[in-house]
Structure 1
């Protein structure tokens, strides 16, 4: 067997593999004998089929399989031995002038095109400066969070007249253009949440309604979201999109979720017995929680700033034409237009992956299973807390985490997240991070800019 490599510019190469019968004959004969032992053919006892018979019937397909296996092993070993950092996967070069008999006497020659990763260094020092934001909770955000939590633990009441934020349990009847009931039209009894009404004039017309009151309403105008309209009327989103009629809304009941009292029972439900004993302690805990969420947003912003600035600092060249051919070869349904539209983002992410891998390798940063498990557990805990502020028992959370990571896709996603966290943590540890306090509204405006 003979393997050679020809450079194709700075970031490309063609590997030529020449195979003679001496390289593959024994492998083919072994494969034929193994298949003969397993074959179950008419006229022969199982396992007693003569190898010569297998060769006559399946010899060519076995030869093709063995040549492919030999090529894959040879190419992968060569790439490893030569320490070639390739991008994508090797692409076979088609040559219609080469014809093989596949009779066991051929000398084969196959060419593979490689896309090579650029050679570069990443040098992060204190001269690299970034801004880290410390986001403080403003009163409006704090009040909204407190109100939401109190309602989550509140009780349902039935006031006489509706106010903003109430729910109208209503009968909805489709009307004709003249205001009469549309015969055979849509009718449904459903909860109409006033906090979801988009139109200010319509909302105003619903405030103050009592059980038994009727009002004509343009539901299409009231709900800007067709999905919400479809839910209220119990129809499909397609039908909701085409809806033009007005409706008669008859109030059957007014429902209001009252906020829970700020008492010890409420505090104990939220934080555990006697952890918080007064309103000041409650507000302090909620402030801590809210600013903890803001910290996650600020960390993401800092990571994004690092990502963008390092991509500007390290403008890596890529074998673009090879990568485009590889993307097309591995995604048969990818159109030329889709490739051109999406390639810039693909290349940007690939450049970052190269920078990330370089930082991990140069600084011997390892990812252990404990890191993946801890991160997955934290993500699941945060997800569960969205539905209940009370923490899940540790043993139950650990069990959910194990089950979650048994899914390969979940495990890979968390692995990549841990990899990113470790990379950014390293960068933050050596770069200069200038901390700056900022209130939530200004931070939101800054991140939208």
Structure 2
């Protein structure tokens, strides 16, 4: 067997594989014998089908499968041995003037296109500088969080007159004959238009107002309220609706008392409003650490994309995308190609950091990340619930039994390791900032 590659340019190459009968016949003979032992054919006892019959009946298909398997295995080995940084997978080139008899005597010669990762240095050095923000909770953010917590454990009332933030149970009727009629709950806090929101304050049961629903709601919210598709909501021919109040629902905030504190935290851990405020501040600022880390990752990503200015084998990659996703149209490939190249560029940077620093993703690390994600989800719905490590472990194993979820978490662990390595490589300056100002960054 001969296998070699020829560079077309820095990012495109061909792999040529030549296979003689001596290379493939021993493997084909073994496959035919194995098939004979397993075959169940009329006129033969199970496991006693003559190999000659298998060769005559199925020989060409077995030969085809084995040749392809040998070639794929050898190409993978060759790429590893030659340390070729290949993008996608090799694609066979069509040879219009080459035909084979598939009679176990052919010498096969196959040509494959490959795309090569471009050469560039990972653009992160000890001289590269980034800012890591230490985000502080401003009063407005804290008060909003406290309000949401109090409402989460509050009680529902039915006042006579509506106020801002109430939920109206109301009948909506489109302003045309045989128009849409729907009785539904409407959260006034999601209304986009300030005038419309104000018009729903001070209403009583049976009061009626007319509103323009396209101005009042986002398309997704309007589709849910009217129980139609988003396309139907987007294309309403008449957007004026009559709204008739049938009931007013208000979620009253819970009192700041011991019963409320014990619903949120272990019993007796928080006994005063000051301690409660301190706990909420700690919780909010811990969440802000995630925002800060994400901002730093985004800044590193943007920096890497800008500095690693290089060319990719675009013609090959588009051909490979089409070959591996036959249902994609040419237009869809073109529309998503810029994002595909950006992701590919960052993946190359990540992989080079992993290789240069011998980073390794261990199974226990993936399990621990799964447990962290599950714990955060549980606490989101019940701050007072403390799952045991054994429970988290069971949930994590269930999650990782899904291959897609397992791959996603593996890639996330790898990304975190690369991020930590880059942080230790570059200069990081810490800067305190209020959350409201942090939100305005990059806008």
Which residue pairs with 1:105 in the alignment?
105
Query: 1 CA distance for matches of 2:312 and 2:190?
Result: 49
- Equivalent position SS for 2:133: strand
Out of 403, 408, 424, the residue aligned to residue 408 of structure 1 is 403
Map 1:165-314 → 2, pairs under 5 A: 165-174=165-174, 176=176, 186-211=180-205, 213-218=206-211, 220-221=213-214, 223-241=216-234, 242=236, 244=238, 246-314=240-308
Question: Displacement, 1:421?
Answer: 0.9
Out of 408, 412, 431, the residue aligned to residue 417 of structure 1 is 412
In structure 2, runs of 5+ residues without a counterpart are none
1:354 aligns with 2:339: no
**Structure 1 residues 401 and 321, CA gap change in structure 2 (3 angstroms):** same
Question: Displacement, 1:302?
Answer: 0.8
Tell me if structure 2 keeps the 8 A contact 1:220–1:244: no
Which residue pairs with 1:46 in the alignment?
46
Give a deviation string over 1:62-102, Cα, whole Å, max 9, x none: 21112112212222222222232222111212211111111
**Structure 1 residues 330 and 247, CA gap change in structure 2 (3 angstroms):** closer
Give a deviation string over 1:186-236, Cα, whole Å, max 9, x none: 44433232222333333333222223x321322525632244334334455
Which residue pairs with 1:179 in the alignment?
none
- Equivalent position SS for 2:29: helix
Tell me if structure 2 keeps the 8 A contact 1:209–1:251: yes
- Equivalent position SS for 2:115: strand
What is the Cα-based RMSD across aligned positions, in Å?
Answer: 2.4
Query: 2 CA distance for matches of 1:174 and 1:305?
Result: 48
Question: Displacement, 1:355?
Answer: 1.6
Tell me if structure 2 keeps the 8 A contact 1:21–1:107: yes
Query: 1 CA distance for matches of 2:305 and 2:192?
Result: 42
**Structure 1 residues 363 and 260, CA gap change in structure 2 (3 angstroms):** same
TM-score of the superposed pair, with normalisation by structure 1: 0.90
Question: Displacement, 1:351?
Answer: 2.0
1:329 aligns with 2:292: no
Tell me if structure 1 keeps the 8 A contact 2:123–2:304: no
- Equivalent position SS for 1:216: strand
Question: Displacement, 1:132?
Answer: 1.1
Give a deviation string over 1:88-132, Cα, whole Å, max 9, x none: 111212211111111111111111222223445447443111111
Query: 2 CA distance for matches of 1:342 and 1:133?
Result: 33
Which residue pairs with 1:14 in the alignment?
14
TM-score of the superposed pair, with normalisation by structure 2: 0.91
Query: 2 CA distance for matches of 1:228 and 1:318?
Result: 42
Tell me if structure 2 keeps the 8 A contact 1:365–1:422: yes
1:430 aligns with 2:429: no
- Equivalent position SS for 1:333: coil
Query: 1 CA distance for matches of 2:124 and 2:87?
Result: 24
1:383 aligns with 2:377: yes
Which residue pairs with 2:139 in the alignment?
139
Which residue pairs with 1:398 in the alignment?
393
Query: 2 CA distance for matches of 1:221 and 1:60?
Result: 65
Map 1:22-101 → 2, pairs under 5 A: 22-101=22-101
Query: 1 CA distance for matches of 2:401 and 2:12?
Result: 38
**Structure 1 residues 222 and 253, CA gap change in structure 2 (3 angstroms):** farther
Equivalences, count: 441
**Structure 1 residues 239 and 355, CA gap change in structure 2 (3 angstroms):** closer
**Structure 1 residues 222 and 163, CA gap change in structure 2 (3 angstroms):** farther
4+ runs deviating over 6 angstroms: none
